[in-house]
Every structure is written in C-alpha cells, then in structure tokens.
C-alpha cells in the first residue's frame, strides 16, 4: 500500500514539472528584452535644452530640439557627437533667425555672464546712457575750456566704450578674456558699485579669484590704487590703478578663477582639488575657454547620464 502511494506521488511530481515547461505557444512575437545601455530620450532632451541655455542663452526651437536629440540618440550620446553639438553652438556662423548665428550668440553669452559677475548685470542701454552723459560732459568741458574736466570725462567715456566693444573684440580675437574682464573692472560703473579703494581692492580679489586678499596683498593693492605707491603683486611690479588691474587680470590666479567660474556656471559647484590641478595644466597654460567648457560639457555629470 505504501509503495502504491509513493508511486502516485512521484507520478504527480513528474506531471507537475512537465506542465511548467514553456512551449512555443507561450512565446510572443516582437517581445525582445529592452536595452538598458541606452540613455533615455528624456535625459537627452534635457541635455540639449541645458546646452542651448548655457552656451547661447536660450532654449532650442522645436526643430532644433528634434534634430539634435535624434543625432545624439542615434550615436547613443557618445563623446564625439556631444562635441559636435558643443562646437556648433560655440563656433557656427551660419545665419539663424533671432541669433544672427550661434557663434555670435555664444560670445554675447560670455559677455553677459561677465557683466553679471563684475557689473551686477548692467544693461546695454544703461551703459550707453552713461557713456552719452560722459561724452556730453566732455564736450561741455571742452567748450568751457575746462581741460581737467574734459580729460576726466573723456577717460570715463572711453572706459565704458571699451566694455561695450569687448564682446566683439573677444569674438574676433583682438581681445583676450582677461582683457574683457579688465575693461569691466576699469569702468566707472565698477567704481560706483564698489565705492572707495578699500571696497574696490577687496572686490577685485573676490570677483576675479573667488577669495579675499591677504593682509600683504591688500596693502600692496591699496597703496597702488589709492596713492600710486610702487609695489609687487604676484611677482609683478606696478604703481597705479591701471597697473593693479593689469597685474590682477593677467595673473595665474585669474586663470584659476576662470576655471572655478566655469565649474560654478556649468555644474553649480566648485572644482575638486584634483580637477583644479588638471585644468591648471590645460586652461592655465592655453587660456582656451572653449576647450575648458567642452571638457565640462561632455561629461556625464553635466548631462546627468
């Protein structure tokens, strides 16, 4: 009797096991397993949108979004196709409605970010109005035979015009980025924002280097700007406000400040010590802002991939 029960149970197990076996009737056509190595399209679209805003200051048009997203998706967002998009937005001079060209919009974006950094985002209209005031004052002083007043207002007019022209000059290569910074720091608007020499010297260090000066650095800078006293700063000598600005904007620490600024504007964080060291060996030597930005923009961190 026991042998019969065991035999029945064994047969039941065999039947149960056999019933779980898949047959061709259980398979569905076009039901391939998904590919998990692909970047989701929503992330690619966000990447394109962010790239346009960061580089040319606006969102992509619908046609631009579709074309760039498709190109990135086909290549699975590899570094080479990311670089192609970045290069196009930085350097393409093809005519575009509203922008004239991507390259023009890119250089205008750098200029606007500089004005935010140094001049509290003053508008072009405000700069032109102030330049007009100085120009009219210079003409009045000339007619009134006030030579000191004429020279002072002419200098202030020229300084603001240097700011207004700095974007096109940087674009065509006649100015460096450091010279664009120097134009903004030299103009009277920067002096109005940072009233008196104490604030001016501290602001220059903070805006350019993202730190305040040491006591020795401050004293040297203050004496140059306030009293035209000769001094040495970052191994360079000077004795005037113009010398101080030149030394500050052409220093190695100014290049370090550009690296920090780029990480802040594109990744919303400071570079790590290792990242800063690596970039100082690159941007610190070639001062190629486009190359620096490309290294950040092709990263998975920036793309959130």
- Core vs surface per residue 16-32: b (16+ CB within 10 A) or e: eeeeeeeeeeeeeeeee
Beta bridge partners of 232: 237
pLDDT of residue 15: 43
Please report whether residue 11 resides in a domain.
Answer: no
Please report whether residue 51 resides in a domain.
Answer: yes
Residue 71 CB partners (closer than 8 Å, separation 6+): 81, 84, 85
Please report whether residue 75 resides in a domain.
Answer: yes
Please report whether residue 293 resides in a domain.
Answer: no
Range of the domain at 76: 41-91
What DSSP element (H or E) covers 236?
strand 236-238
pLDDT of residue 22: 45
Residue 202: CB atoms within 10 A of its CB come to 16
Please report whether residue 198 resides in a domain.
Answer: no
pLDDT of residue 127: 97
Please report whether residue 72 resides in a domain.
Answer: yes
**Tokens (6 digits) for 60:** 């992509």
pLDDT of residue 285: 96
Cα–Cα distance list, 224 to 111, 182, 198, 200 (Å): 28, 16, 12, 12
pLDDT of residue 30: 52
pLDDT of residue 203: 98
Q: How far apart are CA 18 and CA 167, in angstroms?
A: 78
Please report whether residue 63 resides in a domain.
Answer: yes
Max CA pair span of the chain: 133
Residue 202 CB partners (closer than 8 Å, separation 6+): 194, 212, 213, 218
pLDDT-flagged residues of the chain (< 70): 1-37
pLDDT of residue 251: 97
pLDDT of residue 7: 43
Please report whether residue 57 resides in a domain.
Answer: yes
Q: How many domains does the chain have?
A: 1
């Amino acid at each position: 009797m026991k042998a019969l029960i065991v035999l029945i149970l064994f047969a039941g197990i065999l039947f149960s096991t056999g019933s779980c076996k898949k047959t061709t009737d259980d398979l569905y056509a076009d039901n391939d397993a998904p590919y998990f190595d692909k970047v989701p399209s929503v992330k690619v679209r966000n990447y394109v949108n962010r790239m346009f805003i960061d580089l040319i200051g606006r969102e992509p048009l619908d046609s631009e979004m579709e074309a760039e997203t498709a190109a990135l998706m086909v290549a699975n967002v590899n570094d080479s196709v990311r670089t192609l998009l970045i290069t196009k937005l930085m350097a393409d001079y093809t005519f575009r409605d509203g922008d004239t060209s991507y390259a023009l919009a890119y250089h205008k974006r750098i200029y606007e970010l500089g004005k935010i950094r140094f001049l509290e985002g003053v508008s072009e209209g405000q700069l032109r109005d102030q330049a007009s005031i100085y120009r009219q004052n210079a003409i009045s002083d000339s007619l009134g035979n006030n030579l000191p007043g004429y020279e002072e207002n002419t200098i202030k007019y020229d300084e603001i015009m240097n700011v207004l022209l700095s974007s096109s000059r940087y674009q065509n290569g006649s100015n460096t980025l450091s010279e664009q910074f120097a134009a903004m720091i030299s103009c009277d608007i920067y002096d109005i924002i940072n009233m008196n020499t104490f604030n001016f010297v501290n602001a220059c260090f903070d805006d350019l280097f993202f730190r305040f000066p040491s006591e020795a650095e401050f004293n040297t800078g203050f004496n140059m700007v306030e009293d035209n006293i000769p001094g040495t700063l970052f191994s360079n000598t000077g004795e005037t406000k113009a010398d101080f600005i030149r030394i500050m904007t052409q220093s190695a620490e100014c290049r370090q400040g550009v690296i920090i600024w780029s990480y802040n504007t594109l990744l919303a964080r400071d570079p790590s010590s290792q990242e800063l060291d690596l970039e100082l060996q690159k941007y610190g030597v070639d001062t190629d802002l486009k190359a620096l930005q490309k290294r950040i923009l092709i990263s998975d961190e920036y793309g959130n991939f």
